[in-house]
Structure 1
Amino acid sequence: MLRSLLVLTLILISLAARSQEKVTLNGYVKDADNGEELIGVTVYIPQLKAGTVTNDYGFYALTVPKGTYTVQYSYVGYKIQDVTIELQQNVSRNINLPVEAELMQEVVIEEKPLNENVVAVQMSKNTININQVRKLPALFGEIDIIKNIQMLPGVVSAGEGSSAFFVRGGSADQNLILIDEAPVYDPSHLFGLFSVFNADVIKDSEIYKGGIPARFGGRLSSILDVRTKDGNNKHFEGSGGIGSMAARLAVEGPIVKDKASYIVSARRSYVDLFLKAANEDNLVHFYDVNAKINWKHNNSNRFFLAFYTGRDVFSFGNDFGFAWGNMTGTFRWNHLFNEKLFLNTSVIASNFDYKLELKDAINGFEWVSNLQELSVKNDLSYALGTRNELSFGYHLTGRRFSPGEISPTGSSSFFAPQKQQHMYALDHAFYISDLQRVTDRITLDYGVRLSIFQSVGKGDVYLYEDPQDNIKRERTDTLHYDAWETIKSYVNLEPRVGIRYMLKEGQSLKLSYNRMVQNTHLMSAGTVPVPFNTWNPSSYYLRPQVADQIAGGYFRNFMDNQIEFSAEVFYKDIKDVTDFADNAQLFFNKDLSTEYRQGKSWSYGSEWMVSKTRGKLTGMLSYTWSKVMRKIPGVNRGEAFPANHDRRNAINLQMAYDHNDKWTFGATFNYSTGRPFTLSSGKYEYGSYNPDVIVERNSYRLPDFHRLDLSATLNPRKNANRKWKGQWVFSVYNAYNRQNPFTIYTRTKKDDDGNIIGDGTEKEARMIYLFPFLPSVTYNFKF
């Protein structure tokens, strides 16, 4: 025993001595022109064949043996910096990277020295290059990263007129969409014609489809993480644009040079102004505002405050109207405890609300609903050495769900005031993960997240003999809970692991597994997303949804990393996926828990992508084959059925050609199998209730979807010597005028003149199309 203790002591002393011989290099990497911290910069020491990347805040830390090294800093579109640093003690070194070339603030990629997509352990992740997106066609000339995301492999669009997207078989509400760490519950403007993300203020955006890091949670299918610019801390500048339907303006500059800066942007559609001038009563518009300030107290303490608000307003004369909007706020504090330990603390607030109003003396009412949440997050990273990077943290989120409140608007309205009770929830999460370089060929990224969810009072829970039996679902009792009293708790462990194996130069195999848990549920039975959906927490009757996903892939680069190729396969299994009984009554139903149905869903598929990142011609070609099925007791007679976002085949092509320094041409093409939908076979009467008769869920499919968009961008050569630089973008949406189906509805059968055929009992299906051939012109500017 004594000998064992002596040996252990000697080992610990040896390890301590070795650790004392190591030092840490850390700092921030920034854009040399505007002072923006850069995310994902590669910091590499060739002598040691070791390196790291900057985190979400532009910070890096690398612990190495003492010595003098050449440190290489590289980032797509920026000049490589080789810096010789003597490391005999801990060193803090901030690096400013200059861009390779600049045109209208767009980076022209001249070289990409490292094959990050092959070397990185992370798979099923795509980084959206906003500068490349600017070269592609856009509806009404408005750049939209959501439309770009819908073209990625493994991502399926809900169709025209929607910003919703589905990832690897998950539903739209299973995507966590973040702007500066704050959740956005509806990312659409004008029913999906635009998204809430203004391209002028976007700094970085990434989507995770699998192998999701342990610091993320709360959704099953994907994470879309969008970061906005911090603001130019060197000099004042502005940018904006005037398009066919909307205009935008962004300004930024230093508050104190190199210490504090700001950025403010605003965007508004103006179709309603033209309609109003034409004495048109049906008006629609949207607006959004982004604002951010930051302050660098010193190299160890930085503070950020970001704000977003956006709203859509529809008004149909003096009779009917509705509106919805998101509002978020984020306060961040970056603190460096020492050369190895980095902390980010965030306080985040988010509000999503919607309103429906009918102005009528007898039938008039106003309906409002919202979801509010407040979060505190502590995320830490610790640089153990060249082979280990440790991350850990704790997140706490409180939410208040307000399903709906209705009030009469007319003096004689037959609507009585009605208010559904608020619901409250607390969400705790602890996580730890380690990025470990086992050998030069093998790298592991593994961790675990502990989710503790509490549904809390104040509130009432209704008891039933059998909540899912139409005869036995009358209330039998009521449980009353005081404020903050726990109604129901759920504890789930979420393991995550990823592995990368280097085959040889420029080739790798990757494998990942992750479990995700979702405690919020979107109450919607429709197949086309609309803003009037109700969010509910996991509760007495509603269990959390749990997804397990495994994915594998092969990654290879060609032609000196100019062409990137990837092929991935995946399988996802979801337990307790939420759906609703056929003909469920969702709105203003105080017994909504009797409509819940939970079952299972499974999806699998393969994804292929080839992208060219350099040269005059750049672009991406992707193909996805996938299948998405559901089986839920009480739905479709308990038999399996395809989910409404089951699209077996999807092909997407993006191309941009830099003809010269004046003209750039772009094209996108989309094809996908038609989505399933449900048609009723008839109706029946039960008192005043006339529900549809549903024989089989999603037994029909819409026609296949395909569309070609084209664009041409003109950068006048006179821009080079001017402070004011203008740019013209000419685009054509739906170039060959394809009539893609938006949705199908049933009506009483009529002839071509609108006359009812027969006795009026015969029904017919009618298809609605959106967006024919649409040309547009946009003028962008920078000063």
Structure 2
Amino acid sequence: MIRSFSLSFAVFFLISVVALGQEKVTLNGYVRDVSNGEELIGVTVYIPKMSAGTVTNPYGFYSLTLPKGTYEIQFSYVGYAVQTVTVDLQGDVERNVDMLSETTVMQEVTVTDKRVDENVVSLQMSKNTLDMNRVRKLPALFGEVDIIKNIQMLPGVITAGEGTSSFYVRGGSADQNLILIDEAPIYDPSHLFGLFSVFNADVIKDSELYKGGIPARFGGRLSSILEVRTKDGNNKKLGVTGGIGTMASRIMVEGPLVKDKASFIVSARRSYVDLFLRAANNDNLVHFYDVNAKVNWKGNNNNRFFAAFYSGRDVFNFGNQFGFAWGNRTATFRWNHLFNERLFSNTSIIVSNFDYKLELKDPVQGFKWTSNLEELSVKNDLSYFINTNNDLTFGYHITGRRFSPGRIAPNTEGSMFEEVNLQKMYALDHGIYISNQQRLTDRITLDYGLRLSIFQNLGATDIYEYTDPQDNSRPVRTDTLHYGAWQNIKTYVNLEPRAAARYMLGEGQSVKVSYNRMVQNTHLIAAGTVPVPFNTWNPSSPYLKPQLADQVAAGYFRNFKDNMLEFSAEAYYKSMKDVTDFADNADIFFNQDLSTEFRQGKSYSYGLELLLNKKEGRLTGSVGYTWSKTMRKIPGVNQGQEFPANYDRRNVVNIQAAYDYSARWTFGATFSYSTGRPITLAEGKYQFQSYNPDIVTSRNGYRLPAFHRLDLSATYSPRKNEGRRFKGTWVFAVYNAYNRQNPFTIYTRVTKNKDGDTIGDGYTKEARMIYLFPILPSVTYNIKF
């Protein structure tokens, strides 16, 4: 199959070259930041004479095939001055372009060109690119700029509440988001249970969230793709950036290894709450750290090499009682190769590991629990720039995974536990894709493609057969099937079509539509509303089918006041099949018969997203509104009746604003409002001997109160002393400015008085609300050499 696939492409290329190669020539090159040599992703390359163009790919490369002649080419990118170059194309030409950032522009040149209306003319919809310059001006918890917190402010993105880095996109659950850093997957993006995320803002180059219209090169998740790329390192000069915050500090060093040819970047961040607690002789020690590192080398203009590394970990120790830890580690090696002026290739080798540990320190009940998920991927992505009207992308991905759901072992001689190892599981995931972006007319542009997903559940492992696999009360095994290493257990094959279209209504406005099917073969084994590190992952298997989602979306896009204001309205409908849940009262942890707890059913979601964005001027910001509904119906769950998903919030309003008051002061504010999320509560109780259990009649039958919060910040940049090599800035922030007690969850307990003493006979119960954060001021000092 792969051989015939390659042959088809070879024939296609031959036809394309013969048909187009004689009359046209090619302009290509890289677009970079002039100050540090960083390649810029998504730069618009536009030819006014032909009303056509392209954008730089994820590696900063562009290619245009044009008839011979002289052209003016406009290069435009958010946060940079528009640059126009004139090129006389009588043959193939390589033209690398260095762009000036807004800061450099204000100091050195006057900008007169109008920026291209990218929001309207681009084909992509349901995609958000974070402007890191603006993100840094907004309030941040404890002074730590966090892209996850900013993503949670976007239309179509729902948060479960404070204290979590999880987010839910267009009706999908948190595990249905693929989170990538330099192409490597991150399975838990949180530090300190969501107070911070794994992404250090100092090292981030670019971040994009795809909510719909997902390109064919992505697969493996149902709802969204968050793609984060780190900086390559300044290849011009050595630089140091750092910050001292209320709870954590960080430092980043970057510079050339060989000027203009090779560079490096290293960043590290650590919290120090544990240091204060240790100084106060407190045994409850909590901390996190993460490290990013990257090197790149330009062999020549046709070959570039990159190696990136990430490691992060959280550690909690509560005296002599218990402790736990979790972390992500990734490594990525990339090779960019330019075969010719039109054919660009990226080959990546990616390693990722997510693990956690839990330990109970007790002479009798002591145990240590460890689990991890490892994967190795090889990817080859190619871009073939046929002409100004057709950009072809295609590739092949293969990923091997090893799931180690748990090993429990006694940690003392007198422990009541015996060593138990849950079976390891193995899988191979193949993805073959092709897509083409085609400009039919000045008004109509299409993007269409197909992805083939082939998933193999492999040995070595044992598969149990049951009298009734859906009977989790008393599972009865009838047989055990033994599979050797690499022996195929179950194969799932799915096609994932993708399509999108844009129609220009006139200058400054357009309509767009998209459709995509997504397939997910890894399943989060979670018992609660908010994912925690101690949830495990399982592959698709004989008892667990792949999850499938079909999404259609339509949107209207319009810009006002010379592109100063961007407005968009998007509506979507998503239907999901074989979504995974668990039977009521399921036994999830350390269950050798976990497959009898699986329940799969249907889910649907639909909604409307409105966004008004202002990107220019002293006052910048956005106003977003989302109305959505997400429902599930799963046999064996909630008595087979339809119920709202845990993250079903009907109305969400998010406002962000940054105001450049002067060259020294910038003020920022964010406000969030959302209706309460569903929650399952007891509706009564009954007594059986000494037991007093709750009666729960329906899943998610109640809702928490509404959530709202205001955050404020002020950034002060002192005038730089010409005799100093560094520049410092102060960031003052207030989280939850009016001290709102936002509900995190509600639980029931035996009724007690304010001193904690039981009231009455000890059988009467009361509901108690938990909220996390009161008003929290913070101060951060940032420094840059």
Structure 2 equivalent of residue 9 of structure 1? none
Partner secondary structure for residue 514 of structure 1: strand
Range that drifts further, 187-196 or 68-77: 68-77
Range that drifts further, 741-750 or 29-38: 741-750
> Deviation digits for residues 1-27 of structure 1, max 9, x if unmatched?
xxxxxxxxxxx9999465301011111
Separation of aligned partners in 2, 1:460 and 1:35: 53
Separation of aligned partners in 1, 2:18 and 2:200: 51
Query: Aligned pair in 2 of structure 1 residues 751, 685: CA closer, same or farther (>3 Å)?
Result: closer
Structure 1 equivalent of residue 511 of structure 2? 509
Separation of aligned partners in 2, 1:693 and 1:95: 67
Per the normalisation by structure 2, the TM-score is 0.96
Query: Aligned pair in 2 of structure 1 residues 689, 296: CA closer, same or farther (>3 Å)?
Result: farther
Q: CA deviation at 1:490?
A: 0.4
Q: CA deviation at 1:112?
A: 6.0
Structure 2 equivalent of residue 778 of structure 1? 780
Structure 1 equivalent of residue 90 of structure 2? 88
Q: CA deviation at 1:100?
A: 2.7
Contact 1:464 1:472 in 2 (8 A): no
Q: CA deviation at 1:757?
A: 2.5
Whichever residue aligns with residue 224 of structure 1, its letter is L
How do 1:714-733 and structure 2 match up within 5 A? Answer: 714-718=716-720, 722-733=724-735
Query: Aligned pair in 2 of structure 1 residues 408, 659: CA closer, same or farther (>3 Å)?
Result: same
Question: Gapped runs of 5+ residues in structure 1?
Answer: 1-11
Q: CA deviation at 1:761?
A: 2.1
Query: Aligned pair in 2 of structure 1 residues 527, 108: CA closer, same or farther (>3 Å)?
Result: farther
Query: Aligned pair in 2 of structure 1 residues 402, 682: CA closer, same or farther (>3 Å)?
Result: farther
> Deviation digits for residues 37-83 of structure 1, max 9, x if unmatched?
00011111222221111000000011111112121212122222221
Separation of aligned partners in 1, 2:690 and 2:260: 69
Contact 1:625 1:649 in 2 (8 A): yes
How do 1:152-231 and structure 2 match up within 5 A? Answer: 152-231=154-233
> Deviation digits for residues 583-603 of structure 1, max 9, x if unmatched?
101000000000000000000
1:242 to 220, 241, 244: 244
Whichever residue aligns with residue 67 of structure 1, its letter is G
Partner secondary structure for residue 356 of structure 1: strand
Q: CA deviation at 1:331?
A: 0.2
2:631 to 629, 642, 647: 629
Separation of aligned partners in 1, 2:755 and 2:318: 26
Q: CA deviation at 1:763?
A: 1.9
Structure 2 equivalent of residue 521 of structure 1? 523
Partner secondary structure for residue 21 of structure 2: helix
Contact 2:397 2:432 in 1 (8 A): yes
Contact 2:82 2:113 in 1 (8 A): no
Contact 2:516 2:550 in 1 (8 A): yes
CA RMSD of aligned residues (A): 2.1
Separation of aligned partners in 2, 1:538 and 1:403: 14
> Deviation digits for residues 479-519 of structure 1, max 9, x if unmatched?
11010011111000000000000000000000000000000
Whichever residue aligns with residue 619 of structure 2, its letter is L
Structure 1 equivalent of residue 145 of structure 2? 143
How do 1:329-478 and structure 2 match up within 5 A? Answer: 329-470=331-472, 473-478=475-480
Question: Gapped runs of 5+ residues in structure 2?
Answer: 1-13
Contact 1:101 1:108 in 2 (8 A): no
Structure 2 equivalent of residue 327 of structure 1? 329
Separation of aligned partners in 2, 1:18 and 1:178: 37
Contact 2:350 2:377 in 1 (8 A): yes
Separation of aligned partners in 2, 1:540 and 1:104: 62
2:304 to 302, 305, 328: 302
> Deviation digits for residues 618-648 of structure 1, max 9, x if unmatched?
0000000000100000000000000000000
Structure 2 equivalent of residue 488 of structure 1? 490
Per the normalisation by structure 1, the TM-score is 0.96
> Deviation digits for residues 551-574 of structure 1, max 9, x if unmatched?
000000000000000000000000
Partner secondary structure for residue 36 of structure 2: coil
Query: Aligned pair in 2 of structure 1 residues 406, 370: CA closer, same or farther (>3 Å)?
Result: same
Separation of aligned partners in 2, 1:418 and 1:108: 70
Partner secondary structure for residue 718 of structure 1: coil
Whichever residue aligns with residue 550 of structure 1, its letter is V
Q: CA deviation at 1:329?
A: 0.3
Structure 1 equivalent of residue 5 of structure 2? none
Contact 1:251 1:263 in 2 (8 A): yes
Q: Does 1:498 align with 2:500?
A: yes
Q: CA deviation at 1:720?
A: 6.9
Structure 2 equivalent of residue 4 of structure 1? none
Q: CA deviation at 1:210?
A: 0.3
Contact 2:472 2:597 in 1 (8 A): no
Range that drifts further, 240-249 or 94-103: 94-103
Structure 2 equivalent of residue 37 of structure 1? 39
Partner secondary structure for residue 680 of structure 1: coil
Aligned length: 771
Separation of aligned partners in 2, 1:306 and 1:672: 38
Whichever residue aligns with residue 47 of structure 2, its letter is I
Whichever residue aligns with residue 619 of structure 1, its letter is G
Contact 1:77 1:109 in 2 (8 A): no
Separation of aligned partners in 2, 1:55 and 1:346: 15
Query: Aligned pair in 2 of structure 1 residues 579, 100: CA closer, same or farther (>3 Å)?
Result: same
Query: Aligned pair in 2 of structure 1 residues 284, 253: CA closer, same or farther (>3 Å)?
Result: same
Q: CA deviation at 1:530?
A: 1.2
Q: CA deviation at 1:179?
A: 0.2
Contact 1:102 1:108 in 2 (8 A): no
Separation of aligned partners in 1, 2:763 and 2:775: 37
Structure 2 equivalent of residue 124 of structure 1? 126
Partner secondary structure for residue 732 of structure 1: strand
Separation of aligned partners in 2, 1:109 and 1:324: 49
Whichever residue aligns with residue 667 of structure 2, its letter is F
Q: CA deviation at 1:719?
A: 5.5
Q: CA deviation at 1:529?
A: 2.1
Separation of aligned partners in 1, 2:134 and 2:593: 50
Q: CA deviation at 1:758?
A: 2.7
> Deviation digits for residues 267-315 of structure 1, max 9, x if unmatched?
0001110110011111100000000000000000000000000000001
Partner secondary structure for residue 101 of structure 1: helix
Structure 1 equivalent of residue 755 of structure 2? 753
Query: Aligned pair in 2 of structure 1 residues 287, 181: CA closer, same or farther (>3 Å)?
Result: same
Separation of aligned partners in 1, 2:449 and 2:721: 50
Separation of aligned partners in 1, 2:15 and 2:290: 59
Separation of aligned partners in 2, 1:685 and 1:104: 74
Separation of aligned partners in 2, 1:720 and 1:544: 61
Separation of aligned partners in 1, 2:780 and 2:104: 20
Separation of aligned partners in 2, 1:347 and 1:680: 50
Q: CA deviation at 1:138?
A: 0.4
Q: Does 1:670 align with 2:638?
A: no
Q: CA deviation at 1:127?
A: 0.2
Structure 2 equivalent of residue 617 of structure 1? 619
Separation of aligned partners in 2, 1:14 and 1:156: 45
Separation of aligned partners in 2, 1:332 and 1:81: 29
Q: CA deviation at 1:723?
A: 2.4
